[in-house]
Copies of this chain bind each other. A is one copy, B any other.
Amino acid sequence: MTAVAQVQALLFDVFGTVVDWRGSIIAELTRFGAKKEIAADWAAFTDDWRGLYQPAMEEVRSGRRPWTILDALHRESLDKLIAKHAIAGLTEAEKGHINRAWHRLEPWPDVVEGLTRLKSRYIIGTLSNGNVGLLTRLAKHAGLPWDVILGAETARAYKPLPQAYLASASLLNLEPAQVMLVAAHNGDLAAASAVGLRAGFVARPQEYGPHQSKDLKAERTWDVVCASFGELADAMGC
């Protein structure tokens, strides 16, 4: 039996792999700014917001702060950036609405059809640093046909800590080798692979916009390497 033939569940990184967070957030902020007549560099604002993502999670991963869900980390980062970019006059309700833009991201065009094919043969779910409430609403917004919502919150550990991957397999009654992580990020796949999961790379060379410098291609011979969820479904025999 090949390594991939043992796989019973495909769990997906979400931000960047499934959804175009950057394009979606820029578009939503741009619309919001136009309506509110607030001028700002919304692309820079978005990149700054994502720039605070890893440092915020690292505070939790390191144990320096107790478990905190991503929605709360996003909100703290947003408050910092509203100050940094000198954006005035936002109500609490408006700040909450902007923060929930992460619940309304758009999928890459190949995603829904590819997931629907994969769902016919495998358990498909999330393995994301997003919290359950975020991922559940995002799935409804984007029409993502997940069987199960798993990730950092159900594991109580942010990727790339081993527990994030191992707890997700365990929650499905599966051994690590029976689960494939699908991600557009070599580092995420390396961490999953190190604890025994299978690894599927899907290239998303536009995730960080026109000047993306990393994760342009697979940096190892992962179990599957492809350019879309359609190719992934082909490779997995769906």
Question: CB distance A136 to B149 under 8 Å?
Answer: no
Interface residues of A in 126-171 (CB under 8 A from B): 131-134, 136-137, 139-140, 147-150, 153-154, 171
Q: Chain B contacts of A154 at CB under 8 A?
A: 132, 154
Contact of B123 with A140 in the complex, beta carbons under 8 Å: yes
Residue numbers in B under 8 Å from A132 (CB-CB): 148, 150, 154, 171-172
Contact of A123 among B134, B137, B148, B150 (CB under 8 A): B137
> Residue A231 at the B interface, CB < 8 A?
no
- The residues of B that contact A153 with a CB separation of less than 8 Å are 171
Q: How far is the CA of A174 from the CA of B136 in the complex (A)?
A: 12
Contact B172 A136 (CB under 8 A): yes
How far, in Å, is A22 (CB) from chain B's closest CB? 23
Which residues of chain B come closer than 8 Å to A48, judged between CB atoms?
A: none
CB of A71 within 8 Å of the partner chain: yes
What residue in chain B is nearest A72 (Cβ atoms)? Answer: B173
What is the CA–CA distance of A133 and B125 in the complex, to the nearest angstrom?
12
Contact with B along A94-137 (1 / 0, CB 8 A): 00000000000000000000000000000101000001111011
Copies in the complex: 2
Q: What distance in Å separates the Cβ of A11 from its nearest Cβ neighbour in chain B?
A: 11
Within 8 A of B (CB), among A169-219: 171-174
Residue of B nearest to A150 (CB): B132
List the B side residues contacting A172 at CB < 8 Å.
Answer: 132-133, 136
Q: How far is the CB of A75 from chain B (nearest CB, A)?
A: 12
Q: Is the CB of A173 within 8 A of B140?
A: no
Contact with B along A22-57 (1 / 0, CB 8 A): 000000000000000000000000000000000000
Give Cα A125 to B147, complex, Å: 11
Do A173 and B123 form a contact, CB below 8 Å, given A148-B149, A149-B148? no
A192 to B140, CA, bound (A): 25
Ranked nearest first, the 10 interchain pairs of A and B with the lowest CB-CB distance are A133-B173, A132-B171, A136-B148, A133-B172, A148-B149, A136-B147, A123-B136, A154-B154, A140-B147, A136-B172
Given contacts A134-B173, A136-B172, 6 further A-B contacts (CB under 8 A): A123-B136, A123-B140, A131-B173, A132-B148, A133-B171, A133-B174
